[in-house]
């Protein structure tokens, strides 16, 4: 007699959460349907049912983490601060001082788009979201320059271990803002 199917509407989300934990712990190289199934405590067939390929799973994982900085920017006071450079520098400091594993995970998934073209549109969504949040205040060209600088500073902090320097970030952001006017 066949066992009845278990109703588990959150299973897909649990699989994505498990994939994020696996990537956070072992990197993208450690990601497989098997490791995710074990982490999520679901049958292996569940991961392949919900995600036909690891790329599909990575897209879902990147979408899950994609919006944290952009959402925080849209919801916080920094975008309307009289000194936008100071507000953005403070926000970057807050974001980089948060759980480092989470920030590293976001960048690992974001940079995975270099080798996995299917991730590129999702990675671009992050940039577009932040540009869209900044553009009403700065214009789209200046917003893109600010995003490029914030990305560069964040990557340098993550890759070199040099502490985040909010004063330096504020000064560089102000230079871009002043050049854009």
Mean pLDDT across 11-27: 92
Q: Give the confidence band of 136 by pLDDT, cuts at 50, 70, 90.
A: very high
Q: Among residues of the chain, what percentage have pLDDT more than 70?
A: 94
Full-model pTM: 0.81
Q: Which of 2-6, 55-59, 75-79 has the lowest mean pLDDT?
A: 2-6
**Number of domains forming the structure of the chain:** 2
Render pLDDT for 88-106 as a digit per residue (tens, 0 to 9).
Answer: 999 999 888 877 777 888 8
Q: Comparing C-alpha atoms, which of 85, 49, 80, 108 is closest to residue 170? A: 85
Task: Tell whether 79 and 146 lie within a shared domain.
Answer: yes
What is the Cα–Cα distance from 27 to 104, expressed in whole angstroms?
A: 10
What is the Cα–Cα distance from 111 to 119, expressed in whole angstroms?
A: 9
Render pLDDT for 150-167 as a digit per residue (tens, 0 to 9).
Answer: 999 999 999 998 999 999
Task: Tell whether 163 and 76 lie within a shared domain.
Answer: yes
What is the Cα–Cα distance from 86 to 150, expressed in whole angstroms?
A: 13
132 assigned to some structural domain: yes
Residues 6 or more apart whose CB falls under 8 angstroms from that of 12 comprise 50, 60
Residue keyed to tokens 């994939």: 19
Task: Tell whether 107 and 174 lie within a shared domain.
Answer: yes
Whether 2 has a pLDDT exceeding 70, the answer reads no
Residue 45's domain comprises 11-63
Whether 3 has a pLDDT exceeding 80, the answer reads no
6 assigned to some structural domain: no
- Within 13 Å and on the Cβ side, how many CA atoms surround 157? 21
> Do residues 102 and 153 make contact, with C-beta atoms less than 8 angstroms apart?
no
């Amino acid at each position: 007699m066949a066992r009845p199917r278990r109703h588990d509407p959150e299973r897909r989300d649990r699989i994505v959460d498990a994939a994020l934990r696996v990537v956070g712990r072992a990197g993208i190289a450690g990601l497989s349907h098997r490791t995710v199934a074990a982490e999520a405590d679901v049958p292996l067939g569940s991961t392949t049912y919900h995600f036909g390929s690891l790329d599909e799973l990575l897209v879902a994982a990147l979408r899950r983490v994609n919006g944290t900085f952009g959402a925080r920017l849209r919801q916080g006071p920094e975008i309307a601060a009289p000194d936008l450079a100071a507000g953005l520098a403070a926000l970057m400091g807050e974001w980089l001082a948060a759980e480092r594993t989470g920030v590293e995970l976001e960048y690992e998934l974001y940079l995975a788009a270099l080798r996995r073209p299917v991730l590129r549109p999702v990675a671009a969504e992050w940039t577009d979201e932040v540009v869209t949040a900044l553009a009403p205040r700065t214009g789209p060209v200046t917003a893109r320059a600010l995003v490029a600088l914030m990305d560069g500073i964040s990557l340098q902090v993550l890759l070199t271990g040099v502490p985040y320097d909010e004063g330096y970030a504020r000064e560089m952001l102000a230079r871009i803002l002043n050049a854009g006017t």
